[in-house]
Chains A and B, each alone.
Chain A
Amino acid sequence: MTEPSIDFAVLDLDTRQLSVLNRRAMAWLVGMLLLVTVSIVLLALFLRTVEAQEEDRRRTADAQWLDQTVRFHLRRLEADLGVLALQVQRSEEPAPPALPGGQLWRSAQAIAWHGWLAADRQPAVAAWPPFLQSAARHPDSAEALSAMLKTTRGLQRAAYAGPLPQAGDSAVQMLWLAVPVFERDRFLGDYVAAIRFDRLLDSVIPPWFFKDHAVALDADALPVAAAPPDKPSLYVAPVNLPGAPLRLRVDALNSRPALAPRIFFGIALACLAGMVVALYFLRRDTARRQRAESQLQTQMALRTAMERSVTLGLRAWNPDGRLLYANQTFCRMVGLAPSDILGHAEAMPYWPAGQGDEFELLLQSARLPMAQQVGVEMQLRHSQGHLLDVLAHGAPLTLGDGRVIGWMGSVLDITERKRVERLAARRQELLEASGRLIAVGEVASTLAHELNQPLGALSSFANGLLNRMRAGTLTLAEVTPVVERMERLAEKAGRVIQRVNAFARRQEMSLQPLALNEFIARVAGQVPLPDGLELQLRLPEQPLTLPADALLLEHALHNLVLNATEWAVHGGQRPARVRISLEQDGGLAGIRVEDSGPGVPPEQRNRIFDAFASQKTGGMGMGLSICRSIIEAHHGRIDVATSDELNGAQFTVWLPLTP
């Protein structure tokens, strides 16, 4: 059985309230989103600044490191060249310094050329060694070289020039270094070395640096420490050599920014994203909850309204029989406040004594199979003292898995109904009584009239005679017929009395075909049954019809069944039973009425049909005698015996099937 579902959405009572809530929630949500967005933007900006600063810091560090490294090695070279120059002074063949020498000597052909250039050969380029000359072919280079040499002489310290393109191979840049030699302030000359710039870098910069950086000579004269916009990873590291300010272009090959901030940022971002997602789900959930809640409110309102509108008293118990709930109707019914009722485990104020335990009664009724659940009739006491008749039903409160978590009981106030029933019964009784009175009155009136006529006539004749006798106007001839007449009248009165007797015993009957099955069912249906009495009908398949006065026979059978129902409950058996059966025996139909009462003792069986022999207190004793009169008037007979099956009395009415 599926319950018809109600679309509560159409009953939404508080959409306005809901929209207000919605708007508020939306505002909060938008605020949250804004906050998150702003946070993300700020974080991103912060990260960028941090990263840029970090980058700057690293570049500065790298540039300084490059500068120091290159300068260190070149100073080392200066020292070596100084040693070589000394060797030349000692007229030795200059040779590269033995190990430990500078790094530059160890790397492959970093030093393209080195030689002594005496002071006297310096002014004229033509007097320079050929390598120098070839380098000085380019006017710029010549000037730079001259400047270098002048600087060594003038400032008495090493000087650099270049990097200058090598003659004939402009791709090869040479860095020139001249180390002066003085002897007691006399300038002797310079020891000059040409360093291939690319190899210089290769030899002085360790390979780990090259893994991440490409280093080259800056030809584009980029501004220091500022990357061109198209290559953000590019920067220029200056190496300040005296006479040759070098500018190294450093390209961070895979300049990965530091991981940690990004990870933090990523985590923050993930958190925020998670928050947004959570917000979204929360929002969705909230919306769903709100919907459910509003539906629930609607349902609750509906249910409350329903509960208030029902005329049934409703109550709920927990499994131990403790009252948990009582609706308003019930409280009104018994005139108590809910607080007087709920939570009481002991006797309730509305429960009159002597009815057993209410909860037990309800459980018993609820445990019956569905077909037999007709409710329990009981009485409740109103707080003002009067009793109410109620019809109670019980039902278990079952969860989906079949567990019983309590009991529900409904109470229908049938006081009015009972009152009406009692009134109707009383009316019926009165009606029947008045009907009987009317019948008695009719009979009496008829009787009186029938007797009045002859008696009145008698007294008239007698008085007429007396009048004449007193007046002395009577003749004998007149007397005889009058007295004869008087005698006849007295006889007539006697006959009237006889006829009335006969009438009282046996009324005039009108015999009509009567179908017994329907007749018995109809009569049985009219008999009021005491509580707990079972009335059984055993009627044959074959319909039986016989001529009878339906009204009289109904009266007789009604009497028999009524007697049976009244006696059945006085037997020892439970449930008390009455059975009406119909059978055919030759030309007779037998209507049998049995009951489970105490039965009729054999010594009484002959007397029970006599008038004024009632076994009932207050009985007139006319019932069975009238029954017998009616049945005998139908040319039938009535037997009394003991019922084989029900052990009580058994009356059998035998009626002929043909008149």
Chain B
Amino acid sequence: MNPTVHIVDDDADFRDGLAWLLDSRGLPTRSWSGGDMFLQSLRPGNPMWECCVVLLDIRMEPLSGLATFEQLKAMGWPWPVLFLTGHGEMSMAVAAVKNGAWDFLEKPFQNNLLVDKVEAARQAALALQADSQERLLFQQSLAALSAREREVLDQLLQGHYNKNIAEHLGITPRTVEFHRANIFEKLRVNSAVELAHRMGRLA
């Protein structure tokens, strides 16, 4: 799993320079000459939605970095976005970070520091991806539970013992134990505590 770094800048020299630099540290890059081009390439299901990092130049024509970012957010873009800012655009960049951007990088940069920051963003993207995959799996397992197992699970989460659950659902405690074992297996948990923890984190 090696997340791509998308460089979005309307200045070809800058783009190429940055690509050359990131490449020298072994980061896979892809260059875009403008925010609009980048946005057009993003169609759901497209591999672009895979784990990646975006570097957006804040001052671009016709679509500025901020506008591009807004559109990304509107699409529900999950991955880190870093702004490339020049002198006098700091305040804009700070506002963008508060608005959900990952970080900003000031031009001209201490270049290896920039690469470090991009790398950190990539790691974060990877973590995010792993997290989201785990959640996806858990959600799928939850969806795979039968209706009776769902009921038993709800009772378990409320902290009832098997005997009480049996009374509530009008089934035998033996059957409850059977369902419980199934639920633990399907959701890949070993204890009721772990089950509660994962439910809180992922469901």
Contacts and interface: CB of A to CB of B under 8 A. Distances in A.
Contacts of B89: 445
Contacts of A473: 24
Interface string B34-58: 0000000000000000000000000
Contacts of B88: 441, 444-445, 448-449
A467 B25 CA distance: 7
Given A467-B24, A467-B25, A471-B24, A457 B16 contact: yes
Nearest to B87: A448
A388 interface: no
Given A444-B87, A452-B108, A457 B11 contact: yes
Interface stretch (A38-46, A458-466, A552-560): A458-466
What is the size category of the interface that chain B forms with chain A? Answer: 20 to 34
A204 B162 CA distance: 187
A492 interface: yes
- Interface residues of chain A: helix, strand, loop or mixed (majority): helix
Contacts of B14: 453, 456-457, 460
Interface string A464-490: 110110010100000000100100110
A449 B18 CA distance: 16
Contacts of A455: 107-108
Contact of A452 (B21, B23, B25, B87): B87
Contact of B87 (A445, A460, A467): A445
A489 B108 CA distance: 14
Contacts of B112: 463, 467
Contact of A453 (B13, B109, B111): B13
A88 B86 CA distance: 190
B87 A485 contact: no
B59 interface: yes
B17 interface: yes
A454 interface: yes
B77 interface: no
B161 interface: no
What is the size category of the interface that chain A forms with chain B? Answer: 20 to 34
B156 to A, nearest CB: 55
B21 A461 contact: yes
A457 B112 CA distance: 13
Given A444-B87, A460-B21, A463-B24, A452 B107 contact: yes
Given A445-B87, A454-B13, A460 B18 contact: yes
Contacts of A449: 59, 86-88
A443 to B, nearest CB: 11
A448 B88 CA distance: 8
A471 B26 CA distance: 11
Given A448-B87, A467-B25, A471-B24, A460 B59 contact: no
Interface in B105-148: 107-109, 111-112
Contacts of A485: 13, 16-17
Contacts of A488: 13
A347 B88 CA distance: 62
A459 B111 contact: yes
A156 B130 CA distance: 199
Given A452-B87, A463-B24, A468-B24, A489 B13 contact: yes
Nearest to A470: B24
B74 to A, nearest CB: 27
Interface string A481-510: 010010011001000000000000000000
Most chain A CB neighbours (cut-off 10 Å) among B23, B88, B89, B108:
B108
Nearest to A468: B24
A463 B23 CA distance: 11
A578 to B, nearest CB: 41
A471 to B, nearest CB: 7
A465 B112 CA distance: 12
Interface string B1-24: 000000000010110111011011
A461 B86 contact: no
A488 B12 CA distance: 13
A460 B25 CA distance: 12
11 contacts: A452-B108, A456-B108, A457-B11, A460-B18, A460-B21, A462-B111, A463-B112, A464-B23, A468-B24, A485-B16, A492-B13
Interface of A: 441, 444-445, 448-449, 452-465, 467-468, 471, 473, 482, 485, 488-489, 492
Given A455-B108, A460-B17, A460-B20, 4 more contacts: A448-B88, A457-B14, A458-B17, A461-B21
